[in-house]
Structure 1
Amino acid sequence: MRTRKLFIGGKIRAIRGEQGLTQAGFAQKLGISTSYLNQIENNQRHVSASVLLALAEAFSVDITTLSDQDTDRLLADVSEALADPVTGGAQPSLTDVKLVVQNAPSFARAFLSLHQAMRRSGDQLAELDETLERSGALSEPTPYEEVRDFFHYVDNYIHELDLAGEALSRDLAKSRGISLKALADHIERRHRVRVVIGSGGGSGAGRDEPNGSGLRRFDPVSRVLWLNPRTPASTQAFQIACQIALIEHDTDMTRIIEGARFRSADAAGICRIGLANYFAGAALLPYGTFSAAARELRHDLVLLADRFSTSLEQVAHRLSTLQRPSQKGVPFFFARVDKAGNITKRHSATKLQFARFGSACPLWNAHSAFETPNRIIRQLAETPDGVRYLCLATAVSKPSGGWRDPVQSYALALGCEVAHAGELVYADDLDIARAEAFEPIGVSCRICERRNCHQRAVPPLKRRLIVDPNTRRTVPYGLE
Structure 2
Amino acid sequence: MAADRRLYVGPSLRRLRRDLGLTQSDMAADLEISPSYVALLERNHRPLSAELLLRLARTYKIDMDALAGDASADDIARLQAVLKDPMFADIDLPSLEAADVTTNFPGVTEALLRLYTAYREEQLALADRGVAIDAGQRGGVDPSDPVAESRRFLEARRNSFPSLDDAAERLAQQVAQHDGLAGYFKARHGLRVRRLPPEVMVGSTRRLDRHRREVLLSDELDNASQTFQLALQLAYLELEDDVAAIAADGSFATESGERLTRRALSSYAAAALLMPYTAFARAVEARRYDLEALSRQFGASFEQVAHRLTTLQKPGQERVPFFFIRVDEAGNISKRLDGAGFPFARHGGGCPLWNVHQAFRTPRQVVTQWLELPDGQKFFSVARTVTAGGGGYGKVRVERAIALGCSAEHAGRLVYTDGHPQGPEHATPIGVTCRICHRTECTARSAPPIGRQILPDDIRRTSAPFGFSDN
Q: Same fold (TM over 0.5)?
A: yes
Correspondence 1:150 to 2:134: no
* TM-score, with length taken from structure 1: 0.72
Given candidates 131, 138, 141, the residue that maps to 1:116 is: 141
Distance of 2:383 and 2:209 partners within structure 1 = 38
Q: In structure 2, what is the equivalent of residue 198 of structure 1? A: 196
Structure 1 residue 192 displacement after superposition: 1.5
Correspondence 1:82 to 2:130: yes
Distance of 1:310 and 1:358 partners within structure 2 = 31
Given candidates 42, 45, 54, the residue that maps to 2:97 is: 54
Question: What SS is found at the alignment partner of 2:140?
Answer: helix
Q: In structure 1, what is the equivalent of residue 176 of structure 2? A: 173
Structure 1 residue 251 displacement after superposition: 2.1
Structure 1 residue 305 displacement after superposition: 0.4
Q: In structure 1, what is the equivalent of residue 268 of structure 2? A: 278
Q: In structure 2, what is the equivalent of residue 475 of structure 1? A: 465
Structure 1 residue 422 displacement after superposition: 1.2
* TM-score, with length taken from structure 2: 0.73
Q: Across the two proteins, how many residue pairs are aligned to each other?
A: 380
Instruction: Please list the CA deviations of residues 254-282 of structure 1 after superposition, one character each: whole Å capped at 9, or x if unmatched.
Output: 23333323233333333232222111100
Given candidates 240, 251, 274, the residue that maps to 2:241 is: 251
Structure 1 residue 116 displacement after superposition: 1.6
Distance of 2:311 and 2:226 partners within structure 1 = 22
Distance of 1:462 and 1:79 partners within structure 2 = 17
Question: What SS is found at the alignment partner of 1:410?
Answer: strand
Distance of 1:274 and 1:84 partners within structure 2 = 25
- Counterparts in 2 of 1:430 and 1:80: CA distance versus 1, 3 Å: farther
Question: What SS is found at the alignment partner of 1:394?
Answer: strand
User: Contact 1:340 / 1:359 at 8 angstroms: preserved in 2?
Assistant: no
Question: What SS is found at the alignment partner of 2:340?
Answer: coil
Q: In structure 1, what is the equivalent of residue 314 of structure 2? A: 324
Letter in 2 for 1:161: L
Higher relative contact order (CA 8 A, sep 6+): 1
Q: In structure 2, what is the equivalent of residue 163 of structure 1? A: 166
Distance of 1:41 and 1:359 partners within structure 2 = 29
Q: In structure 2, what is the equivalent of residue 189 of structure 1? A: 187
Question: What SS is found at the alignment partner of 1:344?
Answer: strand
Correspondence 1:218 to 2:208: yes
Q: In structure 2, what is the equivalent of residue 338 of structure 1? A: 328
User: Contact 1:369 / 1:377 at 8 angstroms: preserved in 2?
Assistant: yes
- Counterparts in 2 of 1:71 and 1:46: CA distance versus 1, 3 Å: farther
Structure 1 residue 45 displacement after superposition: 5.6
Letter in 1 for 2:141: Q
- Counterparts in 2 of 1:386 and 1:312: CA distance versus 1, 3 Å: same
Mapping of 1:381-460 within 5 angstroms?
A: 381-430=371-420, 435=425, 437-460=426-449
Structure 1 residue 333 displacement after superposition: 0.8
User: Contact 1:214 / 1:228 at 8 angstroms: preserved in 2?
Assistant: yes
Distance of 1:400 and 1:255 partners within structure 2 = 37
Structure 1 residue 80 displacement after superposition: 6.2
Instruction: Please list the CA deviations of residues 348-370 of structure 1 after superposition, one character each: whole Å capped at 9, or x if unmatched.
Output: 11121211211111111100100
Structure 1 residue 164 displacement after superposition: 1.3
- Counterparts in 2 of 1:387 and 1:77: CA distance versus 1, 3 Å: farther
Letter in 1 for 2:368: R
- Counterparts in 2 of 1:406 and 1:44: CA distance versus 1, 3 Å: closer
Distance of 1:327 and 1:70 partners within structure 2 = 24
Q: What is the percentage of aligned positions where both structures have the same residue?
A: 34
Q: How big is the alpha-carbon RMSD for the aligned residues of Structure 1 and Structure 2?
A: 3.2
Structure 1 residue 312 displacement after superposition: 0.3
Structure 1 residue 207 displacement after superposition: 6.0
Mapping of 1:362-381 within 5 angstroms?
A: 362-381=352-371
Question: What SS is found at the alignment partner of 1:115?
Answer: coil
Structure 1 residue 457 displacement after superposition: 1.0
Distance of 1:248 and 1:41 partners within structure 2 = 36
Instruction: Please list the CA deviations of residues 173-220 of structure 1 after superposition, one character each: whole Å capped at 9, or x if unmatched.
Output: 37xxxx9x6101111211122111115xxxxxx66535xx43211122
Given candidates 296, 302, 314, the residue that maps to 2:286 is: 296
